[in-house]
Chains A and B, each alone.
Chain A
């Protein structure tokens, strides 16, 4: 199974 990553982990949240 693959776990779904969150976009927030990749982009700075300003």
Chain B
């Protein structure tokens, strides 16, 4: 038996909204320690890694580890029915064929129960190596989101350069070229704050289309951490009370 009670159901709604355009069918691994998933997008350019710690749920029980194959598309449809203030219970019997979702209103005035049919999916687990990164950028997630969105109007590729003092977001398109440079600072304003941890200067190119999809997770966390090393996938990490959501994106390579 697996059962997890989440008092703040909104966070689960936000998580699923943040991944549904990247991955449509995924295996959730449930253990006594965590609910986790790892899934690549269809074009094998991006990877989503989610961990929700058991200890952060109001109630959590997992008698034996289980893989739950879930249609994210359909889960998102059901979660739309849950109110933002609702608590959410996730429940599955051992060797389950359905995932039960129970949404309960704040004052217990309304309870919705749905059984989502589970899928049998090929599990495809990538061995992600432990990696020391050349540069780590911690900044406001909404500011990063805004920069990516605005630069998308110029072109589809973001050139990201980080040195010890600043991070530069540069684009080059048919209409012209441009860049936004932010200097490391410890401003009290969360929008301006930028922390750099750089051992080596890095300059890499990424598809803005994917970064814009990742940035849907900015509603989960005020900060995003970008980890960069030459010629390896960038990691965008959004940490929140319940756990963390990480996105890996393969770089573009100059022809």
Q: Which residues of A are interface residues toward B (Cβ below 8 A)?
A: 1-14
Residue of B nearest to A11 (CB): B126
Interface residues of B in 206-255 (CB under 8 A from A): 207, 232-233, 248, 250-255
**B40: which A residues are within 8 A, CB to CB?**
7
* Min C-beta distance of B63 to chain A, whole Å: 27
Contacts of B18 in A (CB 8 A): none
Contacting pair B124 A6 (CB below 8 A)? no
Which of A4, A8, A11, A13 has a CB less than 8 Å from the CB of B207?
A4
Chain A residues lying within 8 Å of B125, measured Cβ to Cβ, are: 14
Q: In whole angstroms, what is the CA distance A1 to B155 when docked?
A: 11
Contact of A12 among B127, B157, B255 (CB under 8 A): B127
Query: Would A7 and B251 count as touching, CB distance under 8 A?
Result: no
Q: Flag whether B82 is at the interface (Cβ < 8 A).
A: no
| Among candidates A1, A6, A9, A11, residue contacting B127 with C-beta atoms closer than 8 Å | A11
Closest CB-CB distance, A2 to chain B, in whole Å? 3
Question: Is B110 interfacial (CB-CB < 8 Å)?
Answer: no
Report how far A11 CA is from B128 CA in the complex, Å: 6
- Known contacts: A10-B232, A10-B233. The answer to whether A5 contacts B253 by CB under 8 A is yes
Partner-binding segment picked from B19-27, B28-36, B41-49, B99-107 = B41-49
> Are B253 and A2 closer than 8 Å at their CB atoms?
yes
| Cβ-defined contact, B252 with A9, below 8 A | no
- B205 in the interface, Cβ–Cβ < 8 Å? yes
Indicate if the CB atoms of B254 and A5 lie closer than 8 Å: no
A12 to B252, CA, bound (A): 19
28 interchain pairs (CB within 8 A)? A1-B255, A2-B157, A2-B205, A2-B252, A2-B255, A3-B255, A4-B207, A4-B250, A5-B250, A5-B251, A5-B252, A5-B253, A7-B40, A7-B44, A7-B45, A7-B47, A7-B233, A8-B44, A9-B250, A10-B250, A11-B127, A11-B129, A12-B127, A13-B124, A13-B127, A14-B125, A14-B126, A14-B127
